[in-house]
Chains A and B, each alone.
Chain A
Amino acid sequence: MEFLFIGFFILSSALILAVPAGRKHLISGIPLLVLLVISSWVAMPAVFSEESSRFLFRIPLTGMKTVVFSIDALSGFFILTVNFNALTTYLFAGTSLAGHLNHHRPIWISVHYLSFLLLHASMLLVCTQQSAFPFLLSWELMTLSSFLLVIFDHTSRTNLKTGINYLVQMHLSMFLLLMAFLVSGEKGSYGFDSLPAFFATHREFPLFLLFFAGFGIKAGMIPFHTWLPDAHPSAPSHVSGFMSGVMIKMGIYGIFRVISAVQHDFLTIGIFVLVISLATGIYGVLQAIVQHDLKKLLAYHSIENIGIIGTGIGLGSIGLATHNKDLALLGFAGGLLHVLNHSLFKSLLFFAAGNVCNATRTRIIDRMGGLAKKMPFTAFFFLLGSLSICGLPPFNGFISEYLLYLGMILNIHQAGFYGSIGLIMAILGLTLIGGLAVFCFTKAFGIAFLGTARSDACKLAVEPPPPSFTGLMLITAMIIAIGFAPVVFVKPLLSAVNATFIPVAPATLTPLLQNLGMISLSGGIFVLLVVGIFLLRRLFSAPRTKSVAPTWACGFHAPSARMQYTATSYADNVAGLSGALVSLNKEMKQISPGEIFPEPANFTSHPVEKLEEWLVNRPFTALRRLLRRIAFLQTGQIRHYILYPFLFLLLIFFLTLLNLL
C-alpha cells in the first residue's frame, strides 16, 4: 500500500522532466498534492487528539531494516505547518518563476521543481524520524535540495558564493549534530529515543549546548546566523519564503525534541536559551533597520522572530524548572504558535516583496516608492504582513506575543527575587523588540509603497495578474482566522504542549482560553469601530467640497520625488543610538575645501554587521594571511610534489630508527 504511494510519487516527479517548461509547474503539483494529503491525513489525529500518543508506521525495506515514521503531537504540528507553507509557496511559485522561464534551460527548471519537492519531502522526513541516521540523512537532503533552490539564479557570482557559504555552514551544523548523536547513544541505538537514558546519567547542559549549536545554525540564532542574510536575497522569493517560513523552523523542532528529553537541568538551559534568544531578537531587528535591501531586511527579521520563538522556549523551560505549569504551558505554546504565525506572515512578506522586486527590477528600498498605487494588491498583502509581524492586534502576531506576555505577567508575582528580575528583563526585551519592529516596518512599507516613485523603473511597475494571488489569499485567510478566532487554534496547541512536555495532570486551560476569547471580542469591536468611524466621516464629508491639491511643500513650487525622506535617513536615528552593534560604512569622494568648480562626487553606504565582521570576516582574513605564507610550497610542479612524500617517508624512517615513533 505504501509502496503504491511512493511509486506514484516518484513517477509523477519523473514526469516533470518530460514536460515542456510551461507545463512543469502544473505537473509538479501532482506529487506535491499527494505528499500533502497523505502527511496531513496522518498528522491531524496526532495533533488534535487529547492524550499524548505516537503513531508509528513501519515500512520494511530490503534486508532487515525497517523505516520507522513516528508522529506525535509536536511532529504533527510541524508537519501541518510545513504542508500549508508548501501549498502556498507552490501557488506563488508560478508567478515568481514566470519571468525566469526563458532565461534558463528546461533541465534546470526541472531540477528546481524536483528540489522543491525533495525539500518538502525531506522536511516531512525530518519531523518524523527519531533514529539518528535517518534523521541526519533527511537533514542532509534538506540542505542539498535547498542549496539547489538557492542557487537558481546561478549566473550571478554573488549568488553562487552565498549559496556555497550556506552549504558549508549547513554541513558544519550536520557535523555538530552527528557528534552530538554519537556522544549520546550507544552502539545500535542512536537518536532522540536514547536521549532520556543519557540525560538520566550524565550532565545535560554540555550535550544540550552541542545540539543547540547544531540546530541553532539552521535556525539562525546568533552567533550562528551569518548565512541567513546572505542566502535569502540571493534566492528567488518563493524559495526565500519557503526557507524562511519553515526550513529554519526545523532547527527549532530539533531544539524542542532535545528539551522534551531533558529531565532536571531545565533552569540552566532555560536561562541560556532565554538570554541568547533575547539577544538574537534585538540584534536581528537592529540590523534589519539599517538595511538598504528589502529582502535582506526581511531575512534579518526572520532572525528576530527566531529570537522571539526562542524566548518562548526559554520561558517554558524556566517554567518547567520552577514547577510553574502556567509559565511552561504558555511559554512553549507561545513559541509554537509563533512558529506557525511566522511561517504565515514571513512567507506573505517574502512573496509580496518578490512581486515588488520582480516588477521594479531592484531590491533596494531607496529606489522604490509609490508602489501602492501601481500594485495595490501587493501593497495590501505587504501591509497585512507588516501589521502581523509587528505583533499588532487584531492579527495573529499579537496572539503569540500575548501568550508569552501572559506567561510572564501571570508569574511575576510569585517568581522570587531573581525570577522577578529575569521576567522584568524579558518583558523589557520583548517590548523593545516590538517597538523596533514597528520602526522597521513603517520604514519598509512606507518608503517602498507610499509617497512618489524614486526611480524610473518604479514608475513602470506592473502587478502580476490576480489569479496569481491564490496562495497569498490563503495565507491572509489564515492570518485573519488566527487573529480573530485564536481559541480555535490555541486550544489544540495547548493540549498538545501539555501532553508532550508537562508530565503532570493537565492544567486548567479554561481561564487562559477565556482571555483569548476577550481578545477576539476586542478585535471585533475594533474593526466595527473602524468601519463605523470611516462611514461617519464619509457622511460628514459627502455634502462638502472635495478638492485635490499637492502636498504642502513649505511654499516650494517644484518638489521632486528625491526630496522625500529616504530609507537611510529614516533609519539614521536608531542607527546612531545603536552604534555599538550596527554600523553604516560610508565611502565618499568629498568635495575638498579649496575646490571652486567641483567635480562629480559620489557617496555609497553599506551596512556592516558587527558580529559577522568579528566572527567570520576577520578570522578568515587572518587565516588567509597565515596560509599565504605557506603558499610557497605550492609550486605547481610535479617533481616537487613527489619530493614532499619522499621527504615524509625519510622522516618516518629516521624517526623509527631512533625509536621516537
Chain B
Amino acid sequence: MTLVSALIIPGIIIRTKSLCSGRKGPALFQPLFDAGVLLRKGVVLSPVTTLVFRIAPSVSLASVLTAVLLVPMGRQDALLSFSADFVYFTYILALGRFFMILAALDTGSSFEGMGANREALYSLLVEPVFLLLLGTYAMFTGYTSFSEIFSHFYFSNNYAFIAGILGFYLLIQIAMVENSRLPVDDPKTHLELTMVHEVMILDYSGPDLAIIHFSTWIKFALYGALVSNSLVPSGWPVALQTGLFLLLQLSFGIIIGLLESFRARNKMTKNPQFILTLTAIALLVFTIMLLSSYMSSK
C-alpha cells in the first residue's frame, strides 16, 4: 500500500509546486517515466570510487524497504512488528544514510564532502526529535510497537488532541528535513555550494540513480504513511481504511507541495537552529502529555 502511494507522491508534489507558481507542470507520472529512462541508460563510474560507491544505492533502497515492512497501514498490523520497533526503524534508516554519506565521500569531490557533512549534521539533529515523539506516544498509549501505538491513539481529552496535532505537524517537518526539502534544502537548486542531498548523488548515473530516486520516494511515502496512520480511525472496514489511507497520502503530497511553494530556503547556518526548534516542540509535546497523564482534578 505504501509502495503504491510511493509511486504517485513525487508526481503530485511537483505538480502542486508548478501549479502554485503558475505553470502547468509535468504529468503526474512523469517521475516514473524518468526513472524508466534512467534504468535503460548505462553507468558512468569515476576511477576514484570503490565498492562502497557501487553498493550504496542498493543498501539505501534495501534499508528503506525494510523500514516499510515495519510501518502499519491504517489499523492493520505491519508485516514485521515487535517491541520498540521504531528504534529499529530509525537505526535502519540511519544505516542507509551512513552508506550514502560514505559514497559521497568516496568520490573525492569537495562538493560531495560538503553535502555529506551537512546531511550528517541535520540527520543527527533530527533523529532525537523522532524518537522523542514516539517515546511520548509510547508513554501515552502504553504500547511500544508502531502497530499498537497507532491503533490505540485516541484523542481522549483536549491535551491528547493538541498533542496529536502537534505530533502531526512535527512528523511533517521531520519528513521535510529527512528528505532534504525546503526549508532545509532545496531539491531544485543545483548550485554545488548550496545543495545538501542532491550533491551527494551528483556522481550517480543510470540504474544507480534510478534506485536512489526510488528510495527517496519510498521514504517520503513512509513518512506520509506515519502521518496518515495517526488519522485513520480504527473501527472502519478494511476497504474503507485503505481508501482513506490513499486519500491521506495524496493530500500529504499536496500539503508538502504547498508548503514548499510558499517557503524560502533557510540560511545555511540557521539550519541547525531550525532543527533544534523541532526538538523544542517535541519537548513541548512531551510536557503536554506528561501533564495530561498527571493532571489534578481541575
Chain A–chain B contact at Cβ < 8 A: yes
Residues 56-78 of chain B: 1 if any A CB is under 8 Å from the residue's CB, otherwise 0?
Answer: 01110111011001100000000
With A392-B94, A424-B286, A540-B207 as contacts: A525 and B69 at CB distance below 8 Å = yes
Binds A, one of B5-13, B123-131, B232-240, B251-259: B123-131
Residues 521-550 of chain A: 1 if any B CB is under 8 Å from the residue's CB, otherwise 0?
Answer: 110011001101110010011001111111
- A487 → chain B closest CB, angstroms: 13
With A421-B290, A447-B105, A546-B45 as contacts: A431 and B127 at CB distance below 8 Å = yes
| Residue A611 CB within 8 A of the other chain | no
Residues 17-59 of chain B: 1 if any A CB is under 8 Å from the residue's CB, otherwise 0?
Answer: 0000000000000000000000111111111111110010111
- Smallest CB-CB separation from B279: which chain A residue? A428
The listed residue (A409, A529, A573) touching B66 by CB distance below 8 A is A529
With A428-B132, A548-B47 as contacts: A409 and B102 at CB distance below 8 Å = no
The answer to whether A439 and B121 touch across the interface, beta carbons within 8 angstroms, is yes
Task: Give complex CA distance A398, B94 in Å.
Answer: 12
Chain A residues whose CB sits within 8 angstroms of the CB of B88 once the complex forms? 393, 398, 402, 519, 522
The listed residue (A420, A541, A570) touching B207 by CB distance below 8 A is A541
| Residue A515 CB within 8 A of the other chain | yes
| Residue A129 CB within 8 A of the other chain | no
| Residue A66 CB within 8 A of the other chain | no
Q: In A556-579, which residues have CB < 8 Å from any B CB?
A: 559, 561, 563-565, 569-570, 572-574, 577
Q: In A394-419, which residues have CB < 8 Å from any B CB?
A: 398, 401-402, 405-406, 408-410, 412-415, 417
The answer to whether A526 and B87 touch across the interface, beta carbons within 8 angstroms, is no
The answer to whether B113 and A565 touch across the interface, beta carbons within 8 angstroms, is yes
Chain B residues whose CB sits within 8 angstroms of the CB of A450 once the complex forms? 50, 52, 102, 105-106, 108
| Residue B177 CB within 8 A of the other chain | no
With A537-B207, A544-B206 as contacts: A402 and B84 at CB distance below 8 Å = yes
The answer to whether A451 and B105 touch across the interface, beta carbons within 8 angstroms, is yes
Task: Give complex CA distance A518, B66 in Å.
Answer: 12
With A392-B98, A435-B123, A564-B113 as contacts: A573 and B118 at CB distance below 8 Å = yes
Q: In A281-311, which residues have CB < 8 Å from any B CB?
A: none
The answer to whether A551 and B109 touch across the interface, beta carbons within 8 angstroms, is yes
Chain A residues whose CB sits within 8 angstroms of the CB of B110 once the complex forms? 563-565
| Residue A263 CB within 8 A of the other chain | no
Chain A residues whose CB sits within 8 angstroms of the CB of B41 once the complex forms? 544
| Residue A97 CB within 8 A of the other chain | no
Q: In B211-228, which residues have CB < 8 Å from any A CB?
A: 211
With A387-B95, A526-B62 as contacts: A554 and B111 at CB distance below 8 Å = yes
| Residue A372 CB within 8 A of the other chain | yes
- Interface centre among A383, A409, A415, by most chain B C-beta atoms within 10 angstroms, is A409
Task: Give complex CA distance A393, B95 in Å.
Answer: 7
The answer to whether B58 and A537 touch across the interface, beta carbons within 8 angstroms, is yes
Task: Give complex CA distance A452, B110 in Å.
Answer: 11
The listed residue (A391, A445, A534, A559) touching B58 by CB distance below 8 A is A534
Task: Give complex CA distance A68, B52 in Å.
Answer: 53
- Smallest CB-CB separation from A403: which chain B residue? B84
The listed residue (B39, B62, B116, B202) touching A446 by CB distance below 8 A is B116
The answer to whether B83 and A515 touch across the interface, beta carbons within 8 angstroms, is yes
With A450-B106, A544-B42 as contacts: A410 and B83 at CB distance below 8 Å = yes
The answer to whether B290 and A569 touch across the interface, beta carbons within 8 angstroms, is no
Chain A residues whose CB sits within 8 angstroms of the CB of B58 once the complex forms? 530, 533-534, 537
Task: Give complex CA distance A574, B48 in Å.
Answer: 28
Task: Give complex CA distance A435, B125 in Å.
Answer: 8
| Residue A436 CB within 8 A of the other chain | yes
The answer to whether A446 and B57 touch across the interface, beta carbons within 8 angstroms, is no
| Residue B192 CB within 8 A of the other chain | yes
Binds A, one of B134-142, B155-163, B166-174, B179-187: B134-142
Chain B residues whose CB sits within 8 angstroms of the CB of A431 once the complex forms? 90, 127-128, 131-132
Task: Give complex CA distance A644, B107 in Å.
Answer: 72
Residues 149-179 of chain A: 1 if any B CB is under 8 Å from the residue's CB, otherwise 0?
Answer: 0000000000000000000000000000000
With A391-B91, A424-B286, A569-B117 as contacts: A417 and B105 at CB distance below 8 Å = no
- Smallest CB-CB separation from A373: which chain B residue? B50
The answer to whether B102 and A446 touch across the interface, beta carbons within 8 angstroms, is yes
Task: Give complex CA distance A640, B132 in Å.
Answer: 70
- Smallest CB-CB separation from A383: which chain B residue? B52
Task: Give complex CA distance A452, B109 in Å.
Answer: 9
The listed residue (A526, A541, A564) touching B92 by CB distance below 8 A is A526
The answer to whether B109 and A564 touch across the interface, beta carbons within 8 angstroms, is yes
Q: In A11-50, which residues have CB < 8 Å from any B CB?
A: none
Task: Give complex CA distance A445, B61 in Å.
Answer: 22
The answer to whether B192 and A554 touch across the interface, beta carbons within 8 angstroms, is yes
Chain B residues whose CB sits within 8 angstroms of the CB of A401 once the complex forms? 87, 91
Chain A residues whose CB sits within 8 angstroms of the CB of B102 once the complex forms? 442, 445-446, 450
Residues 376-396 of chain A: 1 if any B CB is under 8 Å from the residue's CB, otherwise 0?
Answer: 000100010001001111000
Q: How many residues of A contact B (CB 8 A)?
A: 85
Interface class of chain B by DSSP: helix
The answer to whether B87 and A409 touch across the interface, beta carbons within 8 angstroms, is yes
Chain A residues whose CB sits within 8 angstroms of the CB of B288 once the complex forms? none
- A294 → chain B closest CB, angstroms: 15
Q: In B186-215, which residues have CB < 8 Å from any A CB?
A: 192, 202-203, 206-208, 211
The answer to whether A551 and B48 touch across the interface, beta carbons within 8 angstroms, is yes
| Residue A434 CB within 8 A of the other chain | yes
| Residue B101 CB within 8 A of the other chain | yes
| Residue A553 CB within 8 A of the other chain | yes
| Residue A468 CB within 8 A of the other chain | no
- B52 → chain A closest CB, angstroms: 7
Task: Give complex CA distance A443, B105 in Å.
Answer: 9
| Residue A432 CB within 8 A of the other chain | yes
Chain B residues whose CB sits within 8 angstroms of the CB of A551 once the complex forms? 46, 48-49, 107-109, 203
| Residue A632 CB within 8 A of the other chain | no
- Smallest CB-CB separation from A561: which chain B residue? B108
The listed residue (B46, B63, B117, B123) touching A550 by CB distance below 8 A is B46
With A431-B128, A451-B105 as contacts: A410 and B50 at CB distance below 8 Å = no
The answer to whether A409 and B109 touch across the interface, beta carbons within 8 angstroms, is no
- B144 → chain A closest CB, angstroms: 5
The listed residue (A432, A435, A522) touching B69 by CB distance below 8 A is A522
| Residue A331 CB within 8 A of the other chain | no
Task: Give complex CA distance A94, B135 in Å.
Answer: 48
The answer to whether A452 and B48 touch across the interface, beta carbons within 8 angstroms, is yes
- A542 → chain B closest CB, angstroms: 10
| Residue B246 CB within 8 A of the other chain | no
Chain B residues whose CB sits within 8 angstroms of the CB of A597 once the complex forms? none
| Residue A370 CB within 8 A of the other chain | yes
Chain B residues whose CB sits within 8 angstroms of the CB of A553 once the complex forms? 109
The answer to whether B63 and A544 touch across the interface, beta carbons within 8 angstroms, is no
The answer to whether A548 and B46 touch across the interface, beta carbons within 8 angstroms, is yes
Task: Give complex CA distance A534, B61 in Å.
Answer: 10
Task: Give complex CA distance A560, B134 in Å.
Answer: 46
Task: Give complex CA distance A526, B294 in Å.
Answer: 41
Task: Give complex CA distance A406, B86 in Å.
Answer: 10
The answer to whether B44 and A548 touch across the interface, beta carbons within 8 angstroms, is yes
The answer to whether A420 and B290 touch across the interface, beta carbons within 8 angstroms, is yes
The answer to whether A530 and B98 touch across the interface, beta carbons within 8 angstroms, is no
| Residue A258 CB within 8 A of the other chain | no
Name 25 interchain pairs, CB-CB below 8 A, sorted by A.
A372-B50, A392-B91, A402-B88, A410-B83, A410-B84, A424-B132, A424-B136, A424-B286, A431-B128, A438-B97, A442-B102, A450-B52, A451-B48, A518-B80, A522-B80, A529-B61, A529-B65, A530-B58, A534-B58, A537-B208, A540-B207, A545-B42, A563-B110, A565-B113, A565-B117
> 8 more A-B contacts (CB under 8 A) besides A392-B94, A409-B144, A451-B107?
A387-B98, A414-B142, A417-B294, A424-B136, A424-B286, A438-B123, A515-B84, A551-B49
Nearest first, the 3 A-B pairs at minimum CB distance are: A565-B113, A435-B124, A446-B105
Q: Which residues of B contact A (CB under 8 A)?
A: 39-52, 55, 57-59, 61-63, 65-66, 69-70, 80-85, 87-88, 90-92, 94-95, 97-98, 101-102, 105-114, 116-118, 120-121, 123-125, 127-128, 131-132, 135-136, 138-142, 144, 192, 202-203, 206-208, 211, 272, 286, 290, 293-294
